[in-house]
Structure formats: structure tokens, C-alpha cells
Amino acid sequence: MTRSPNPRSVAVAVLEQVARRQAYADAALDAHLRRHPSMPPRDRALAAHLVYGVLRWQNRIDVHLARASSRPLGKIHPMVLTILRLAAYQILFLDRVPDRAAVHEAVEETRRRRLGHASGFVNAVLRNLSRQGPDLPLPDEPAERLALRFGCPAWIVERWLDEWGEAGAERLCRAASRVPETWLRVRGDRAEALARLRAEGVEAGPGRYAPQAVWVRFQGQPRDLPLVREGRAVVQDQASQLVADVLAPQPGWRVLDACAAPGLKTLQIAERVGQGGSVLALDLHPHRARGVGELVRGLGLPNVGVVAADAASPPTAREFDAVLVDAPCSGLGVLSRTPEAKWRRTAEEVEDLPGLQARILRGVADRVRPGGILVYATCTTLRAENEEVIAAFLADRPEFQVEAPPDANAPWARFVTAEGFLRTFPEGVGEAGPTALDGFFAARLRRTGGEHR
């Protein structure tokens, strides 16, 4: 019988891929767990918890390690540093793991990785860290203080301070460092899905804002849930589900999904337009376009066509009843789900995004029929990628006008701003999961009969 792998070894392997190969944490973790199907659910959950915990708190962990280490972190072998970070997370953040056990596991992992010459160093650093304890003096400067307190890069905190003030920035930092709920979008009757989940021993409840949203708590990976395996639900955050409600596609509509991958919103749109309608899904990257195609085919949606193409130059001259631009963005509204992005994104990259977003909007504008709908959406909290992009587009294309989302009585209508935009600022932080939302933005524009000047 093949022995189940140590969850800490799995976590080290995933973190190494994230750090050195720029892998996405969720994809790397999923790939490792698939190779070990007999791994107990409790161990799988621990491996995931360790991976995401280290990534959420990496800057704070590194400050602790720098204080405990006799050499600069930049001089430590990358694999040894990953092992140290994992053990430090357990010592600093996990009450159920005795410090001595975390130190012992780290030393053994160092030896398993054929880095035995570093085992004494690992042992000394972690024992120093254990003696120093979790307390850390915080800087007086607001951005540096919030960055270290909540595990966020200072440059991101500075943006939030500029736009939302100290209270708003703290709220966003707290949201970025939380452990997010797992959300499903049910494809069918939500009450029946909830009853089934509970009968299978899964703690679950209805979302407060999206009509098909369900939150779940269980040990294991969401893809292993029978509802998901059978295609009766997909893993999708509640705030993400609201974008389709802003678009509000009707049966029979032709819709262009200009930046479709990974395809979750494509599914929602295809289900709403029905067999009498159609969806053309674009993505710039061929492998991501293939992923969208596999998803829609696997779920039995023949009314979707998928093309690898640049949305800034759509490969069609036809006009559509509606166009969705789920734009490439900084992702600062979903950092709790993609914590590796905190340490991968740079301020310079984010400054370039509004130009790309504007090019995509200009590229698809003529694909919207007169009277049709254009929705621009992001999962970021920065005005430069949201309101300012829309303002520049409307100045150039006055035949488009902002239109408030159509369902004024929907539970999510409370998130519609005075300008008519949907903005989900993280809600319910520190409360029960059903109230928590990621940070999304969506603007619904209608093309009038006016000509483009």
C-alpha cells in the first residue's frame, strides 16, 4: 500500500512551485492532491490551510524570521526559506501545533529535501523564533503598520489609504487576510441542493445576495463534492455571480463574453439566453480558451462558441445584444482567494492596467447593437481601474450611457452606488460566512441610437 504523503511536505512542494515557478496556488495544490487520491480529507485540508496561511502572512512571517536568523533572508537557500516559512506559520499562527513539533518537522523536511547541511541552521532559527513569540512591534506610519498587521504589501495599502481613508484601508486589509468561505453557484433548485448537501454531511447555507449562491464548509476540495462532480453546481464566489445579474441577459439574446476565462460567467450567460440564444466566448490565451471550451462542453451547453482571440480586436463584425467585458485587472478585491498575487503584483504593472482595460472597451464597443448592453466588470477595488476607466470611455463614446442594474428590488441592490455602478465592498468581515463578499465592480452601459463621433 502506498503511504499517504505528509501534508507538510505537500505544502512545501506547492509553496516552492508558487515561489520559483510563478504557479497559481490553487492549481498547484490541486495538481499535488490529485496525485494522492488516498490522502485523508483531514490531511488534504491541513495541506491547503498551510499553503494559504503562509501566502496570506508572508511579509509578517519574514519579519519574524529576519529577527530570528543569523543571516539575511536573501542569503538563505530558497527551499530552506520555504521550509522556515511553513514552520514559522505553524509556530506563530496555529495554537494546535506545539512549537517543538513544528521545529522537528521542519528539520526532518530539510533532510528529506537533501539539505541536511542546513538542518542545524533551521533548528536554531526556529528555536529563536519560538522564544521570541508572536508579538511584533508595529511601525507608526499607517501604510507600514497596516501592511505588517494584516499581511499586505505596503504599496497596496497606500492605494487603499488614498482612496478609502484609514478605516476603509483597514477594512480591506482585514478582508484580504481572512480565510474566505467556499461558495457554489447551484445549477437548479437551491433548496434541493442545500438539502442534499446537508444530507451528505456538509455544512451549508444560502447566500444572502445571489439567488443561486450556496456557502459550504467541509474538509476536502470543492471539486470532490458530488454536486460539483455531477455538474449541478460550480465553484463561484457570491459577488462574482452578481455580474450576470447586472448584465441580465434575456432568452434568445446573442452575447459576446469578451474576456471569458475561466468561463464561470460564460456558463451563467449561456444558461440564461437558452437554446434560442448564443454566446461567443473569447480569451487571448489559447490554453485558457481551451479550458472554457472544456468547461461548457462538460456541462452540456451547445450554445457557446469559444475562440482564442484578443478582445481589443474581436474576430467578428457582427453586433450583439449584450457584451460582457470581465476585464483583466489587479484582482485586489479577491486577495483572500489568491494571496500569492499580493507578492507577485507590482505597482508598475497595476499602473499599466487601465490602458489595457480601455483598449478592450474601445475594441468591443462597436460590437454592441444600438439599444444593446455593455457591462464592464472587475474584481478590484481601485477607482483607476473602475470609475476612471468608465469615465474615459464615456467621454470618447457618448452614445453609451450608464444604466442602473435592472432589478432595483434585488437583495444586492444595496450595493448599487449613486452613479449607478455595482460595487461590492467586502461585507461581513469577522462575521459568519454567508455575509462575506469579495470586492467586485460592474458598470452597465446602454448604447443609444447615436453615432460614434
Concerning whether 259 is annotated as a catalytic residue, the answer is: no
Provide the pLDDT for residue 425: 80
Do 307 and 280 meet the contact criterion of CB atoms below 8 Å apart?
yes
| CA–CA separation, 259 and 353 (whole Å) | 14
Here the cell at position 385 is: 481601474
Do 448 and 370 meet the contact criterion of CB atoms below 8 Å apart?
yes
Here the cell at position 74 is: 536573501
Q: Please count the other Cβ atoms lying within 10 Å of the Cβ belonging to residue 364.
A: 23
CA-based angle 425:428:430, to the nearest 5? 125
Helices (H), 313-427: 340-344, 347-365, 387-396
Do 219 and 44 meet the contact criterion of CB atoms below 8 Å apart?
yes
- Please, where in the chain does CATH 3.30.70.1170 lie? 182-233
Nearest to 152 by CA among 131, 132, 168, 174: 174
Here the cell at position 84 is: 522556515
Enter the pTM of the model: 0.93
**Pairing assessment for the beta strands 254-257 and 320-326 based on DSSP bridges:** parallel
Fold of the domain built from segment(s) 7-132: N-utilizing Substance Protein B Homolog; Chain A (1.10.940)
Its CATH architecture, for the domain 238-447, is 3-Layer(aba) Sandwich (3.40)
Continuous segment of H or E residues that includes residue 43:
helix 41-56
Nearest to 324 by CA among 254, 409, 392, 394: 254
Here the cell at position 210 is: 445571489
Catalytic residue among 152, 173, 259, 379: 379
Half-sphere exposure of 67 (CA within 13 A, CB side): 16
Match 483572500 to its residue by C-alpha cell: 336
Give domain 182-233's CATH superfamily: Sun protein; domain 3 (3.30.70.1170)
- Please, where in the chain does CATH 1.10.940.10 lie? 7-132
**Pairing assessment for the beta strands 440-447 and 400-402 based on DSSP bridges:** antiparallel
Nearest to 245 by CA among 360, 415, 398, 390: 415
- Please, where in the chain does CATH 3.40.50.150 lie? 238-447
DSSP-assigned beta bridge partners for residue 378: 441
**Pairing assessment for the beta strands 278-283 and 254-257 based on DSSP bridges:** parallel
Helices (H), 134-221: 142-150, 154-177, 190-199
Tell me the three state secondary structure of residue 378. Answer: strand
Q: For the chain of 453 residues, list the mean pLDDT of each consecutive stretch of 10.
A: 79 95 92 90 92 97 97 96 97 91 95 95 97 92 96 97 94 91 95 97 92 91 92 95 97 98 97 97 96 95 96 95 97 95 94 97 97 98 96 97 91 92 72 69 90 47
Tell me the three state secondary structure of residue 79. Answer: helix
Q: What does the H/E/C string look like for 311-338?
A: CCCCCCCCCEEEEEEECCCCCCCCCCCC
Match 474581436 to its residue by C-alpha cell: 314
Half-sphere exposure of 234 (CA within 13 A, CB side): 18
